[in-house]
Amino acid sequence: MGGPIDPDYHDHVRPEMRAFLPARLRRVLEVGCSRGRFGASLTEAEEVWGIEPDAAAAHIAATRLHKVFKGTFDAARPELPRGYFDLVVCNDVIEHMPDHDSFLRDIKDHIAPGGALVGSIPNVRHYRNLINVALLRDWEYEAFGILDRTHLRFFTEKSLRRTLEQAGFHIERFGGINSGIAFRWSAWPLFYWLAAHALIVLSLGAQRDIRHLQFGFRAVSA
């Protein structure tokens, strides 16, 4: 069994994602807006719309954002204006989609000229997951995190860059977020710390992407 459900799962503000925002964000659409905390923090925007499949979260988001659709992107798409949004946000959403390639192609129709797609994706090569697979021969789905049991897709830095480019996007900004290798004086955390640092050192830094829990990106239509 995986760990307990994160009590703040629907209420993260995601301040680390502000570094990826474009200068212009007058009209914003957040796909997978949860309870609307991130969208509500974009006080410089004139309009923030949201799409959220969880009914309870969507109900709360509707009190914080200008317009919220309860359901998936595909269900809401017929009601979304074309070429309208300066910014589309998809924080930790693409990995939940049955057809992420279709989403990336379709969402471009709703982004205004010069607008951007901003999002985050879990890094399946994060050191804990990598060590569990390579050394401990384990792959256990959990309630949340990289191996969230609702994830349908998994990405590395290389595969995420390729996915965006093949969908017709040009990547303007890309970087690891929520990074670092935790150190604690107890058996298993110390084992992970030593194994992760050994891998980075022995690879002469080529494996340093394993430090990142997620990747953030900003991309525009190419």
The domains of the chain are located at 15-123+147-179+212-221
pLDDT at 5 over 60: no
User: Residue 82 has what pLDDT?
Assistant: 98
pLDDT of residue 92: 97
Amino acid letter for position 102: S
Cβ count within 10 A of residue 36:
24
| CB distance 112 to 24 below 8 Å | no
Query: What rounded mean pLDDT belongs to the chain?
Result: 93
pLDDT 10s digits, 201-219 = 999 899 999 999 999 999 9
Among candidate residues 67, 49, 170, the one with its CA nearest the CA of residue 117: 170
For the chain, how big is the Rg over CA atoms in Å? Answer: 18
Phi, psi of 107 (to 5 degrees): -65, -25
* 205 Rama sector, left if φ>0, alpha if ψ -120 to 50, beta otherwise: left
Summarised one tens digit per residue, pLDDT across range 102-120 is 999 999 999 999 999 999 9
The candidate with the shortest Cα–Cα distance to 103, out of 87, 117, 84, is 117
Q: Enumerate the H helices of 62-168 as residue ranges.
A: 73-76, 100-107, 127-134, 157-166
Q: Which amino acid is at 117?
A: L
Other CB atoms within a 10 A radius of the CB of residue 142 amount to 15
CB 112 within 8 A of CB 83: yes
- pLDDT per residue over 15-60, tens digit each? 999 999 999 899 999 999 999 999 999 999 999 999 999 999 999 9
Helices (H), 93-156: 100-107, 127-134
**Dihedral sign from CA coordinates of 84, 90, 93, 94:** positive
What strand order describes the sheet that includes 111-122?
67-70, 47-52, 27-31, 85-91, 111-122, 212-221, 169-179
**What are the strands, taking DSSP E only, across 38-110?**
47-52, 67-70, 85-91
With 0-12 CB in 10 A as exposed, 13-18 as middle and 19+ as buried, what is 214? buried
User: Spelled out in words, what is the top-level CATH class assigned to the domain 15-123+147-179+212-221?
Assistant: alpha beta
